[in-house]
Amino acid sequence: MARVALNGRLLVPGKLEGIGRFTQRCLEELVARRPHDEFLLLVDQPIHPSHLLGANVEVRRMVVPGRRPWLLRLWFGLVMTWTLKRWRADALVSLEGPLAMGMPASFPQLSVIHDLNFVHHPGWLPRRWARYYNRRFPAFARRANVLGTVSECSRQDLADTYGINRERVVVIPNAADESFVPLAPESKADAQQRYAGGSAYFVYVGSLHPRKNICGLLAAFESYRAAGGTHALVVVGASMWGGMQEVLSTEAAPHVHWAGRLNDESLAQAMGGAECLLFLPWFEGFGIPLLEAMACGVPVIASNVTSIPEVCGGAAFALHDPTDIEGVAASMKAIHEDNKAKRAAIERGFVRASEFGWERSGALLDAAVDRLLELPQEP
């Protein structure tokens, strides 16, 4: 029997982003696969019942007054070190990157670093966060006894950027939740009414962040409408960044519907009701919405950069350079003009989405934890 501490800091009630979803689902699988081990889930906010992982998991809330970088250093430093030693943990699993840097070098730790966007584009982040990531994450990568990431693209980037042996890095991919399934025609009509005033629509799902290229997506939609396109656009994601609405013309703006953050059930409905997913980021470590759309039978128009072609695996309706606004707009028109190509993309998407699953990812994490616990430790 092993005693394994789990970093649950991103299990925020009602606000699971991509890494939080990865953490939730992978830890659920890990705990279920190791019923004879004991786990300590470390959080900094009240835990929601949906985030309770199992009967063999104790929850410990370690409170610090906020989430600024220096407080994060405190949380992963003195606070976590004291907690791990007092609980007599055998290892730490952190699926968001940071590790307990106050623990002895002999203490086994597993880290998953999802991507290195902060290295290549630090200007996309507030300065203090870019500084934190770029100062701390190289040390986390070197300190990790077992290092993971979510795609082959990120695996190679970690090797090239941090000088890490590529073979050291295990890939544990994301997946679509089981709630993402094709909608019946009447349910699709309900989604169109709820999110787009009854119109057929394209959908974007993700954070509203500069690296997601929202401005480029909106420009492509405007070009599509100007060329006679009739579909609306539904944007699903957290709070707007200032200035994005100004890129829309007066003619296009009424056809863009800002849905905000949606709960899990509503998100699956919004995705399943769409005619196509538009996903045009500048940089992605994975891109969970790609698989969510494919699982729903929704074709994908996406960027051709970083991990996106890898995740799509040839199943996208079209891939474009994220600067190719007119090319994206032409593919948007083709979605409702070339039904044969659309149907073929949908079928390819079903196959591709089925190649990923949280059970498989959990098995990969379980094997990584086996490796972690087999490491020699000082008495």
- Alpha-carbon distance of 36 to 2, in angstroms, equals 8
| pLDDT recorded at residue 250 | 52
Query: 267 lies in a domain?
Result: yes
Identify the H or E element spanning 320: strand 318-320
Per the structure, the complete domain to which residue 19 belongs is given by 3-175+358-373
Look at residue 62 and tell me whether its pLDDT is greater than 70: yes
Q: Which residue has the tokens 């849905």?
A: 259
Please check whether residue 207 lies inside any domain of the structure: yes
Please identify which residue in the block is written with the tokens 């009240």. 46
CA-based radius of gyration for the chain: 21
CA-CA distance, 173 to 150, in Å (whole number)? 4
Q: Do 367 and 332 fall within a single domain?
A: no
For the stretch 134-170, pLDDT in tens is 999 999 999 999 999 999 999 999 999 999 999 999 9
Examine the domain organization and report whether 264 and 311 are in the same domain: yes
234 phi and psi angles, rounded to 5 deg: -110, 125
Indicate whether 91 and 163 sit together in one domain.
yes
Residues 326, 369 share a domain: no
> Does residue 180 fall inside a structural domain?
no
Query: Average pLDDT of 5-31?
Result: 89
Q: Give yes or no: residues 137 and 79 share one domain.
A: yes
User: 316 in a domain, yes or no?
Assistant: yes
pLDDT 10s digits, 211-269:
899 889 999 999 999 999 999 999 998 764 344 554 545 556 889 998 988 999 999 99
Integer angstrom CA distances of residue 347 from 293, 320, 340:
12, 20, 11
378 in any annotated domain: no
What the block records as the tokens of 61 is 């809330």
Q: Do both 134 and 271 map to the same domain?
A: no
**pLDDT tens sequence across 194-217:** 999 999 999 999 988 888 998 899
pLDDT at position 78: 83
pLDDT category, 191, cuts 50, 70, 90? very high
With b for 16 or more beta-carbon neighbours within 10 A and e for fewer, the 281-291 pattern comes to bbbbbbbbbbb
pLDDT at 249 (0 to 100): 52
CB contact set of 205 (below 8 Å; sequence gap of 6+): 236, 237, 267, 270, 271, 277, 279, 289, 292, 293
CB atoms within 10 A of CB 162: 18
pLDDT (0 to 100) of residue 379:
46
How far is it, in rounded angstroms, from Cα 181 to Cα 271? 9
Please report, rounded to a whole number, the percentage of residues in the chain having pLDDT higher than 70. Answer: 94
Contact (Cβ atoms closer than 8 angstroms) between residue 118 and residue 130 = yes
Angle formed by the axes of helices 214-226 and 325-335, to 10°?
60
27 & 89 share domain: yes
pLDDT tens digits along 41-51: 999 888 888 77
Check whether residue 256 and residue 314 sit in a common domain: yes
Question: CA-to-CA distance for 88 and 40, rounded, in angstroms?
Answer: 10
The residue ranking higher by pLDDT, 118 or 245, is 118
- Residue 349 maps to which CATH number? 3.40.50.2000
User: In this model, does residue 40 exceed pLDDT 70?
Assistant: yes
Q: How far apart are CA 57 and CA 38, in angstroms?
A: 6
Q: Is the pTM of this model over 0.85?
A: yes
Beta bridge partners of 92: 5, 109
Task: Give the closest residue to 93 by CA, choosing from 364, 376, 378.
Answer: 364
| pLDDT tens-digit readout, 64-106 | 766 677 777 888 888 889 999 999 999 999 999 999 988 998 9
Report yes or no on 379 lying in a domain: no
- Tell me if residue 204 falls in helix, strand or coil: strand
294/368 same-domain check: no
The answer to whether residue 108 is domain-embedded is yes
Task: Check residue 242 and give its pLDDT.
Answer: 44
Number of domains forming the structure of the chain = 2
- Asked if 61 contacts 45 with a C-beta cutoff of 8 angstroms, the reply is yes
Q: Is 325 found in the same domain as 192? A: yes
Separation between Cα atoms, residue 81 and residue 242, nearest integer Å: 40
40 shares its domain with 101? yes
Asked, for residue 275, whether it belongs to a domain, the answer is yes
pLDDT of residue 52: 83
CA gap 233, 196 in Å, rounded: 8
- Percentage of residues in the chain with pLDDT exceeding 90? 75
Indicate whether 189 and 324 sit together in one domain: yes
Q: Are 119 and 141 in contact (CB under 8 A)?
A: no
**Cβ(346)–Cβ(297) under 8 Å?**
yes
Tokens of residue 298, six digits: 């929704």
What tens digit of pLDDT does each residue of 101-117 get?
889 989 999 999 999 99
Alpha-carbon distance of 14 to 4, in angstroms, equals 26
